[in-house]
Amino acid sequence: MGATEIEREATLAAIERVSERLADEKEHLTDLDSAIGDADHGSNMNRGFRAAREKTEEMDDANPAELVKTIGVTLVSEVGGAAGPLYGGSFMTASAELEDGLTAESTVAFAEAFLEKVKDRGSAEVGAKTMVDALTPAVHTYKKSVEQDDLPPVESLTKAVDACERGVKFTTPIRATKGRASYLGWRSVGHQDPGATSTLFILEAIREIAVEYLGDGDLDADATSPTVPDGEDVDEAMSTDEEPAVDEEA
């Protein structure tokens, strides 16, 4: 199987996992939205991703960018409310960053374009108690982990999920100033934002698939570590009386 086919398969697997997760969390998301909204976020997200999964499964030979664009088109057309156009528009626009395939660099570009589009469309900054509060730390952490800390994609994604989770928690004690929850004013305080929560579920599902396809970061590090010899090195070390070489730079 070529690299393109694996990426295509991984993208379809991620869409499937996201759709399953959102189906599992339908009640949970609806409960959150009933406290500060109109109790439809769970069914919106479940319906949208189920439709996206059905459509993308029929797209023979589509590459990751085309599949992700279809998620966006489907969410925009199937899901009303705030979240449909916000998530949908962002998947559509950001999918262009994946044209050359799935790499650490292209996924960083995707994440940044995604966040930018959400902010553009919804004009919410961090602190308005929206999905932006979960997405922003996740995207910034992912970018920093890849570009500055040179971490492998899965490890970077794990850090992004942790940051996202902290972003979700941050939405609870603050007052909503955007979206339907803002109609409640101070009464929105003390409730976790549904859209920030669905962002976390989506990211967690993507991470699960990334681990399945790439292995987790620790395994990768062990495989390339100079302190863990592969079979040949072990044989060589056993066949000589010399002390095993020590890597000065290690």
Pairwise CA distance, residues 159 & 78, whole Å = 32
- Which residue, 41 or 69, has its beta carbon nearer to Mg ion? 41
Which is nearest to 122 in space by CA: 89, 76, 163?
A: 89
Q: Which residues contact 136 (CB under 8 A, 6 or more apart)?
A: 115, 126, 167
Q: Residue 35: what residue type? A: A
Pairwise CA distance, residues 9 & 61, whole Å = 10
Kindly tell me which residue out of 7, 25, 33, 97 binds Mg ion, with binding defined by CB under 5 A. 33
Span interacting with Mg ion, options 38-46, 58-66, 154-162, 166-174, rule CB under 5 A: 38-46
- Which residue, 106 or 177, has its beta carbon nearer to ligand ADP? 177
Q: Choose the contact partner of 195 out of Mg ion, ligand ADP, none; CB within 5 to 8 A by kind.
A: ligand ADP
Q: Choose the contact partner of 122 out of Mg ion, ligand ADP, none; CB within 5 to 8 A by kind.
A: ligand ADP
Min dist. Cβ of residue 56 to ligand ADP (A): 21
Quick one: tokens of 143? Answer: 């970018």
Quick one: tokens of 6? Answer: 């694996």
Which is nearest to 194 in space by CA: 81, 90, 108?
A: 81
Contacts to ligand ADP by CB under 6 A: 33, 37-38, 40-41, 44, 81-83, 86, 118, 122, 124, 130-132, 178-180, 193-196
Quick one: tokens of 157? Answer: 């994604």
Is there binding between residue 183 and Mg ion (CB under 5 A)?
no
Min dist. Cβ of residue 117 to Mg ion (A): 20
Tell me which residues touch Mg ion (CB under 5 A).
33, 37-38, 40-41
